[in-house]
A = this chain, B = another copy of it.
Amino acid sequence: MPKIVDHDERRLELVDATWRIIAEVGIEGATMRQIALEAGFSNGALKPYFESKDTLLTFAFTHVLNKTNERIEQAVAGRNGLVALRAFCLEVLPLDQERIREARIVIPFWQRAASDTDKRDLYRESLQQWHGVLRGFLADARVAGQVNARVDDEILASQILNMLLGAQVTIVLGDVPDFTRVQRQLDDFLLLITATPT
């Protein structure tokens, strides 16, 4: 079915060319037409591929998620335990303008997902996948004697995930982002779970 593949490829191109515009102006702030024009396409370029802004947002979210997961894959390759865990978190945390833009896609997606079952299922799946990966790294780190906290890995993974999501909110809505401080929040959490309690 080569026609379908072409359609999908074109859609990917369009999402790649427009997601940053959506991140900047907000999904409320512009019409499909304006988003198309800003990206250098014709008026009606998006409509045949995305039936609504809502669909466009879902594709933008999936695109951003894929990009993050590709970065994670590269960052953790050949690493394990606490080093891999840290590398994972550094790819999710909003530590540069590009990742802040990504967070500006994720937050509107949360909002839509709160009252849309398909979006919620998509998000839940990605969260569960990340939770599993984090648990795996924690288990390795535990075996290697790198994690000594008297807290279940399952709970630690949830705490880390929630911190990563919360950091997206506080950075997007905060003052001028202080990337050193965000990174320190991560490193100091790793310090907490590494330390041997008496």
Contact = CB atoms under 8 A, between A and B. Distances in A.
A143 interface: no
Given A104-B114, A111-B110, A191-B150, A170 B161 contact: yes
Interface string A121-162: 001100100000000000000000000011110011011011
A97 B40 CA distance: 46
A39 interface: no
Contacts of A170: 127, 158, 161-162, 165
A110 B169 CA distance: 7
A21 B124 CA distance: 24
A170 to B, nearest CB: 6
Contact of A159 (B25, B110, B174, B185): B185
A166 interface: yes
Contact of A115 (B25, B158, B162, B195): B25
- Describe A's contact surface by its main secondary structure: helix
A173 B124 contact: yes
Given A184-B155, A197-B195, A174 B124 contact: yes
Interface in A80-129: 104, 107-108, 110-115, 120, 123-124, 127
